[in-house]
């Protein structure tokens, strides 16, 4: 596994493809120019929780209207979920860049926050990772200023209608301490620690110049994605006990309508066409990197233009296959990383713009939580009919 920065990631094989999971061309913007942060200070209802790291601010702004129920024979909308693993802002401006893009195109996203991104390294002894030394982390810790920027962007993202999920904490993908070996009880400990780091960042950091997160994370947190897509078999019992609504950790899913496993919606990364190849790959930026540059994050720049186009077309091929056939929800995973010159950030930006284009009718770019709301509102018999549609099988009014 190469050294790929502070946020770490996976390598697995799907069919003939190298399949992995793990997120640019903008500089960090002046925070004072961010149009979202300043107005957010005028929230009418703010009730601090605990040490004031978080607050109850009432109903989330920008929430979508209550979901409607499909009538039998009615064509379903095309849901698309853009999600981000880690969701840390480390001074490269990627978090605010994609928040701005989402605002411009009416998109809601899911940000899987890594709990350790709220904990300074000076307090790492508070983290007790299962089967690993106290304070250990495969991805390191953020500098204080980057913790502040992460908190500010998470706050703004929620106020813009996005979902804050979890990417857990230490990102252990190999060895005896790998998340693949964790028991349900250890997963529950990891989740509770992630919640604690978010709910107590003010005590742990001592910051006084950052506003509280405007939500109770104990209620906000209803799903996540495991490091390297590992360990979900034992995660699910723990997630069910904690009342989670979905899990987005399964690799290699087909583009079909989702099912519940152990009472939890299963939202897998999906195999999508890989232009120029006979095999498919997972719908995530690191999988594209793994296949294009064999895990190198700094390949020769001469490759970048062609790879950027190929990455964009892979996302669009996955979208078109769903949109033009069975309308199965389409999931794209990302990291805030400038791998290979930032081409994967550019690719997902271009794909988002084209997917959200007004010429595509009935397209709904939503968060995983919002997709859960819609699915839970549907007639089970109607959903079962949709599930019978295979990948690429065209929807007809009788289905």
**Residue 16 counted as domain residue:** yes
Cα–Cα distance, 215 to 373 (Å, whole number): 19
pLDDT digit string (tens) for 234-272? 999 999 999 999 999 999 899 999 999 999 999 999 999
Q: What is the CATH number of the domain that holds 233?
A: 3.20.20.370
Q: Is residue 32 one of the residues assigned to a domain?
A: yes
Count structural domains, the chain.
1
Lowest mean pLDDT among 3-7, 42-46, 78-82, 338-342: 3-7
Residue 174 maps to a domain: yes
Token pair 């002894």 is found at 125
pLDDT at 398: 66
Asked if residues 278 and 269 have their Cβ atoms less than 8 Å apart, the reply is no
| Residue 396 belongs to some domain of the structure | no
Residues spanned by the domain of 174 = 12-61+79-387
- Please indicate, yes or no, if residue 341 is contained in any of the structural domains: yes
Q: Is residue 5 part of a domain?
A: no
Nearest to 281 by CA among 19, 82, 12: 19
Tell me, yes or no, whether 173 lies in a domain. Answer: yes
pLDDT of 5 over the 90 cut: no
Q: Which of 38-47, 222-231, 270-279 has the lowest mean pLDDT?
A: 38-47
Q: Is residue 4 part of a domain?
A: no
Q: At a CB cut-off of 8 Å and minimum separation 6, what does 219 contact?
A: none
Instruction: pLDDT band for 23, please (50, 70, 90 cuts).
Output: very low
Q: What is the pLDDT of residue 26?
A: 31
pLDDT, tens digit, for every residue of 29-47?
333 334 333 334 557 789 9
* 346 has pLDDT over 60: yes
Helix axes 184-199, 232-241, angle to 10 degrees: 60
Q: What is the pLDDT of residue 7?
A: 33
């Amino acid at each position: 596994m190469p050294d790929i920065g502070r946020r770490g990631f996976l390598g697995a094989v799907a069919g003939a493809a190298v399949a992995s999971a793990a997120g640019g061309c903008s500089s960090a913007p002046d925070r004072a120019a961010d149009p979202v942060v300043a107005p957010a200070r005028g929230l009418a209802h703010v009730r601090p929780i605990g040490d004031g790291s978080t607050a109850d601010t009432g109903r989330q702004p920008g929430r979508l209207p209550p979901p409607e129920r499909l009538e039998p024979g009615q064509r379903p909308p095309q849901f698309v979920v853009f999600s981000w693993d880690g969701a840390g802002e480390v001074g490269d401006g990627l978090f605010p860049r994609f928040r701005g893009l989402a605002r411009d195109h009416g998109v809601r996203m899911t940000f899987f926050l890594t709990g350790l991104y709220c904990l300074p390294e000076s307090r790492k002894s508070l983290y007790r990772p299962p089967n690993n030394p106290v304070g250990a982390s495969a991805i390191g810790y953020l500098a204080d200023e980057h913790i502040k920027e992460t908190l500010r962007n998470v706050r703004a993202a929620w106020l813009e209608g996005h979902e804050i999920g979890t990417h857990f904490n230490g990102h252990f993908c190999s060895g005896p301490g790998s998340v693949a070996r964790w028991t349900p009880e250890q997963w529950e400990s990891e989740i509770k620690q992630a919640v604690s780091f978010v709910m107590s960042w003010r005590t742990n950091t001592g910051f006084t110049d950052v506003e509280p997160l405007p939500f109770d994370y104990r209620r906000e947190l209803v799903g996540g994605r495991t490091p390297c897509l590992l360990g979900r078999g034992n995660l699910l019992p723990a997630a069910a006990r904690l009342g989670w609504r979905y899990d987005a950790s399964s690799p290699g899913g087909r583009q079909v309508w989702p099912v519940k496993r152990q009472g939890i919606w299963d939202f897998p990364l999906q195999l999508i066409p890989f232009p120029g190849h006979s095999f498919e790959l997972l719908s995530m930026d690191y999988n594209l990197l793994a296949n294009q540059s064999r895990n190198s994050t700094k390949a020769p720049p001469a490759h970048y233009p062609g790879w950027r186009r190929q990455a964009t077309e892979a996302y669009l091929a996955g979208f078109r296959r769903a949109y033009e056939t069975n309308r199965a929800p389409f999931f794209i995973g990302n990291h805030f990383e400038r791998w290979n010159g930032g081409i994967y950030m550019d690719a997902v930006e271009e794909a988002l713009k084209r997917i959200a284009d007004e010429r595509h009718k009935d397209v709904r770019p939503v968060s995983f939580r919002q997709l859960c709301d819609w699915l839970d509102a549907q007639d089970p018999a109607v959903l079962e009919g949709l599930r019978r549609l295979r990948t690429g099988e065209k929807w007809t009014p009788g289905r």
